Structure 1
Amino acid sequence: MFNTHKSDKPKTLTGQRLRSYAFALLTRRDYSQAELIERLNRYAANPEEVNDLVAELAQQNYQSDQRVAELTLASQIRKGKGLQRIKQALKSKQLDAELITDELREVDWLEQAYQLKIKKFGQEIAKDPKVKAKQIRFLQYRGFDMDVILKAIARTSEEE
């Protein structure tokens, strides 16, 4: 129905067609306000109308930055991502910094890092410096802070 790739076509969506396109986007996935405005402005004739529409959709809870933050956080944790990588993902969605901080405060990062370490390397605490370094690099790449990493790789199963 709608052309989803960039083209040289004139920006013509207004009124009900713009509203329909916004709903079509939101039925597929959740967008942050900034992402939705950006997507709609590709085809909208009037940027002011887009801003008003997105504000209205947010007020009616069809669009929610809070929901986007929660879903992104849950998805990133499922993928085994650490604090830094998740912050990056949330910032890329142009969410409010305070909202990001609130979402991240709830997570036990040490537990996340420890579970990931067990999944990849087992419960045994590495004595070999090369193995330790490999575990540290793995968790760093995933976005965990060094203090959390060092605690996670030194943690025993009795400490759970």
Structure 2
Amino acid sequence: MYNKKQNAKPQEISFERVKGYMIWMIERYGDYSEKTLLQKANLLFKDDTQYNEAALNYLIERDIINDSRYAQRLTESLSERNIGVNKIKEKLYVKGFSAQIINDCVATLNTSESDYFEKALILKIRKFGDEPIEDIKLKQKAMRHLISKGFSYTIANKAVSYSPDEY
């Protein structure tokens, strides 16, 4: 029924094949961090990983892979969403960026504490209404929700107890 290759021998692993795979991944799916791309190459070419580092270094030298550029673009994209600084840092860490790159990218954000307060307030109003929360259990739930979205405790507390009549 299916034409199966009976005597198909596995392809030989070479520098060009590994490099081609990495370039194909970037072209097909977009940017990757160095760590993630190396993990994917090590997974596919687990029988012989001697070319993986060399192919990665080749792409880094030619600026095809640039962690700081990718992290900066990702940081800007994440800052437009209604999440706080801590959540942005977490998402960058999960992508495999170093702490130095993460701190540099977060430092370049042009957002102030009032911007994060507004984002936290939008989330609070969307989920819990626009009145200040008086019930302790509901207040704790709202605080946990905002803190899980990456906002600091002080900003979350201000948003939860915010009353439009006071300001």
Q: What TM bracket, shorter-length normalisation? A: 0.7 to 0.9
Tell me which moved more, 122-131 or 71-80.
71-80
Structure 1 match to 2:161: 154
| Contact 1:113/1:149 (<8 A) preserved | yes
- Decide whether the 8 Å contact of 1:72 with 1:89 is kept in 2: no
Deviation at 1:40, TM superposition (A): 1.1
1:85 counterpart (80, 87, 95) = 87
* Aligned position for 1:53: 55
Aligned pair count reads 152
- Map of 1:66 onto structure 2: 68
**Aligned position for 1:104:** 106
Distance in 1 between residues matched to 2:147 and 2:133, nearest whole Å: 17
Amino acid at match of 1:54: L
The structure in which a higher percent of residues are helix is 1
* Conserved? CA contact 1:69–1:103, under 8 Å: yes
> Which one of 94, 109, 121 corresponds to residue 114 of structure 1?
121
Q: Residue 134 of structure 2 corresponds to which residue in structure 1?
A: 127
| Deviation of 1:95 (Å) | 0.8
> Are 2:45 and 1:40 equivalent residues in the alignment?
no
Distance 1:143 1:16, change over 3 A: same
Give the gaps of 5 or more residues in structure 2.
1-8
* Residue matched to 2:96: 94
The structure whose Rg is larger is 2
Shift, 1:101, TM fit? 1.1
Alpha carbons 2:35, 2:96 under 8 Å: kept = yes
How far 1:50 sits from its partner (Å)? 1.9
Unaligned runs of 5+ in 1: 1-8
Amino acid at match of 1:58: I
What is the root-mean-square deviation in Å for CA atoms of aligned residues? 3.1
> What TM-score results when the alignment is normalised by the length of structure 2?
0.70
1: CA distance, partners of 2:60 / 2:80: 27
TM-score normalised by structure 1 residue count: 0.73
